Structure 1
Amino acid sequence: MSFNDVPAEAYDRFMGRYSTLLAPLFLDFAGLDFADLDLAAASGEGMRVLDVGCGTGALTAELATRFGQESITAVDPSPPFIQAVRERYPQVDAREASAEELPFPAGYFDAAVAQLVVHFLADPVAGLRELQRVTRGGGTIAACVWDFAGENSPLSVFWRAARELDPQVRDESLLPGAREGHLEELFVSAGLQDVVEGALEISRGHSGFDEWWAPYAGGVGPAGVYLAGLDPDRRSELRERCRAELPSGPFVLSARAWAARGRVEVA
């Protein structure tokens, strides 16, 4: 899935409203504060953390708060996203790069984290191995993906309505890591050690249906692309099916992400 033509502001409105809430929970799960930070301090070198598939910087912001901007390298293949990160966090080393081909030497980072990225990789195991390559022995690798298969993601209402409209629609439930246990399987297949999986729960309030629905028109991600491909009548029908699933006034939307962490083997 390419985000090269997606404006940063459109992504922020669509997914950033949820990923910013997920970021601190994800880093708490990764445990970087308690493990890698101590090891980096003991070595006399600064902490080096790689934010893979950084998007517009939801996780970058949380990493910078915990470790300082100068400790963070952020990569994403989308030029608009990287430009946004450079403007928002000028001391972060932000580069255009994909998870599968990282422009860094072996063992360069103390940790590598990937929030809402693995499910978009053509070969997630190869991507996780590349994260390992650039992370030192004993360092942490962590990733998370929304629970699309369990229909407990921020987009579940949309995809349920889309399936009612078109039972053949290709939603995000079959993507890598989107079901319980699959991220753990991918981590183990990639050769990571001491792998642990967990669930992260977020809740986000919405002022009403129109505020929730409007960002879908931005064409962001598989859901936005699907919506943009519908003719106006089908688009309206999908919108009304979604409206029927949600309260008429303000509401709170809860969602779950599956997360996994592991250690790079010490040579």
Structure 2
Amino acid sequence: MTFEVAGEAYDRFMGRYSGPLAADLASWLAPSTGQRAIDVGCGPGALTGVLVDRLGADAVAAVDPSGPFVEACRARFPGVDVRQGTADSLPFDDDTFDVAAACLVVHFMPDPVAGLTEMVRVTSAGGWVAATVWDLAGSRAPMWPVWDAFGVIRPGGLAEERLPAGTGGELQRMLGAAGVRDVESVEMPVTVTHGTFEEWWTPYLEGVGPIGEELAALSPPDRRRVEDVCRDRLGPGPFDLTAVAYAARGRA
């Protein structure tokens, strides 16, 4: 799965949730002045920006396979070492960082354990290696209203709900398999207020991520059926939606 869309499109779609989640993850890891950190699968830079605020741009690096996301992150955070690359082959030397974090990325890695193992490699002994994933198995990701609506026209659910690392226990297991020590996990809820139904719904039509691709592949009548089911459930707005992520961390 790739995200070859503009950074602004991703921000409208997921940034409203990933931004607060990134801030919570950074607070949990609490990197301090003098340390170096890498944001693996940085996207347009939600976690990158939080790390820059804490450590300074010259102490932060970021990697993403999406060219548009790399361009957006570079433009937003001059001075950050932003490179195009994949988690399973990070373009950095061993023991380069004190903190390596992946926010909402592990479930999109072709080989999550290989990606997490690379994060361990580039982190100095005793440094934090951490990741967050939405509770996909529990249907507590931001997309849950759309998943439910899809069930009306396509019983059996969507492949997105079954992506790897979609439970807290699975994420912990993967970190352990990658060589991370003393792994612990917490839940991180994020509540977002949406002013109108249209403000919530329109970003789903921009083709971002698996759910955007699924919607784009529907016939216009079926897409309208999904929209109508969501509108009936959520109302015209304003309304709050809460998503829950699992966060796990351990020592390299």
Q: Give the shorter-chain TM-score range.
A: over 0.9
Aligned residue number for residue 200 of structure 2? 212
- SS of 1:173's equivalent in the other structure is helix
Alignment of 1:1-267 (within 5 A): 1-3=1-3, 5-29=4-28, 31-33=29-31, 37=32, 46-264=34-252
- SS of 1:154's equivalent in the other structure is coil
CA-based RMSD of the aligned residues comes to: 1.2
Q: Is the 8 A contact 2:5 2:208 kept in 1?
A: yes
Q: CA deviation at 1:172?
A: 2.1
Q: CA deviation at 1:169?
A: 4.1
The whole-number CA distance in structure 2 between the counterparts of 1:171 and 1:239 is 19
The whole-number CA distance in structure 1 between the counterparts of 2:233 and 2:210 is 20
Q: Is the 8 A contact 1:159 1:171 kept in 2?
A: no
**Cα deviation per residue 1:93-148 (whole Å; 9 max; x = unaligned)?**
11101101111111111110000000001111111101111111111100000111
Q: Is the 8 A contact 1:86 1:94 kept in 2?
A: yes
Q: Is the 8 A contact 2:73 2:82 kept in 1?
A: yes
Paired residues, what number?
Answer: 252
Q: Is the 8 A contact 1:75 1:95 kept in 2?
A: yes
The whole-number CA distance in structure 2 between the counterparts of 1:169 and 1:105 is 41
- Structure 1 runs (4+) greater than 6 angstroms displaced: none
The whole-number CA distance in structure 1 between the counterparts of 2:73 and 2:236 is 36
| Structure 1: runs of 5 or more not aligned | none
| Structure 2: runs of 5 or more not aligned | none
Q: CA deviation at 1:247?
A: 2.6
TM-score (norm 2): 0.97
Q: Is the 8 A contact 2:108 2:163 kept in 1?
A: yes
**Cα deviation per residue 1:197-225 (whole Å; 9 max; x = unaligned)?**
11001111001111100000100000000
